[in-house]
Structure 1
Amino acid sequence: MSDRETIAEVMKATRIAILTYEDEQGRLVSTPMGTQDFDDPATVWFITEADSDKVAAISRQPRVNVSYASDKGWVSLSGTASLNQDRAKLEELWDPSASAFMQGGPDDPNSALLEVSGDTAQLWESPGKLGMLVQVAKGALGKEDPAKDSDAPVVDL
């Protein structure tokens, strides 16, 4: 399986991603977002409210990062976000979970999409639960150095 395919699997398996953007003061802000279905990891969709502080900040500074975690690994997606008012796409992506977090439904003029166009992604594959337990045990027993942080390869999307 290619890195790109593994990246897509991790992203699809992660129900709630973390979107990081820059606020008006230049501080990094992270917020949980429900990832909607996507065909390609280079384009990610979130349902949001058009009048939110998040959308205002992203309209000023569109560079964002979206992080994902699943049993298969971790993905850090870097790209550009923009507000998308496509009503047909919003209705296509709307599901019951969106109603739990949104004031209005898909017909509400304030309901909109945040489209993230990914430039690059980094992937850290999980060794699996057993592999992780073995690594932790080896480190705790002093039998072997625990796994060191490693730089994940950057995959162009």
Structure 2
Amino acid sequence: MTAETDIIHAILKAARTAVVTTQTARGTLHSRPLAVIEDDFDGTLWFFTADPSPKTEDIATHPAVNVSVGDGKGWLSFSGTASVSRDQERIDAYWNPWASAYFEGGREDPAVALLEVKVDSVHYWDLDKPAIVKGFEVVKGILTRSAPDVGEDGVVTLDDRR
């Protein structure tokens, strides 16, 4: 594992909610919060979703999406291609009380589906420094009129798996 993947895993593990941005048929962007259901990132992100829904209609028309997550440790911006999956084994593996709250018919609800995002690249901002250090860097930046060094950022490009 590289330092970059360690950063990605740490931020994703700390985050509970992701914001998934799709493009509508008219070309406008629409962002929605979805629960992070797996934090062991291997190049693919998974989310429960209802299908049919406006989100799955957007993806059928424009499968390119952005997924962003963040917390006090940092931020991640995933760019990738989304599709809808009805893989029952995976649905069973990921099923949890949180998911059951959104589907009246439980696991057997005909609307239960998974949103699969195959990630092309990840832009990360690692802010996992103590608050006192971040505060010092901001004050230093103000006094020296330079950008504060509050963390590290970078881009990880994944191999084309399609």
TM tier, smaller: 0.7 to 0.9
Q: What CA distance in whole angstroms lies between the structure 1 residues aligned with 2:135 and 2:151? A: 18
Alignment-derived partner of residue 133 in structure 1? 135
Q: What CA distance in whole angstroms lies between the structure 2 residues aligned with 1:149 and 1:61? A: 36
Alignment-derived partner of residue 23 in structure 2? 22
Alignment-derived partner of residue 122 in structure 2? 121
Alignment-derived partner of residue 106 in structure 1? 107
Gaps of 5+ in 2: none
Deviation per CA, 1:129-150: give whole Å up to 9, x if none. Answer: 222222333355x355342899
Aligned residues: 156
Give the partner amino acid of 1:57.
D
Query: Do residues 80 (structure 1) and 81 (structure 2) align?
Result: yes
- Percent identical among aligned pairs is 35
8 Å contact from structure 1 (residues 7, 41) kept in 2: no
Gaps of 5+ in 1: none
Q: What CA distance in whole angstroms lies between the structure 2 residues aligned with 1:103 and 1:51? A: 15
Q: What CA distance in whole angstroms lies between the structure 2 residues aligned with 1:151 and 1:26? A: 33
Give the partner amino acid of 2:138.
V
The alpha-carbon deviation at position 71 of structure 1 amounts to 2.5
The alpha-carbon deviation at position 10 of structure 1 amounts to 1.0
Q: What CA distance in whole angstroms lies between the structure 1 residues aligned with 2:42 and 2:10? A: 9
Alignment-derived partner of residue 42 in structure 1? 43
Q: What CA distance in whole angstroms lies between the structure 2 residues aligned with 1:127 and 1:39? A: 19
8 Å contact from structure 1 (residues 41, 118) kept in 2: no
Task: Say if 1:33 and 1:133 are closer, same or farther in 2 by CA, change over 3 A.
Answer: same
3-state SS, counterpart of residue 101 of structure 1: coil
Higher deviation after alignment, 29-38 or 56-65: 29-38
Task: Say if 1:150 and 1:131 are closer, same or farther in 2 by CA, change over 3 A.
Answer: closer
Higher deviation after alignment, 17-26 or 66-75: 66-75
Higher deviation after alignment, 145-154 or 33-42: 145-154
The alpha-carbon deviation at position 40 of structure 1 amounts to 2.7
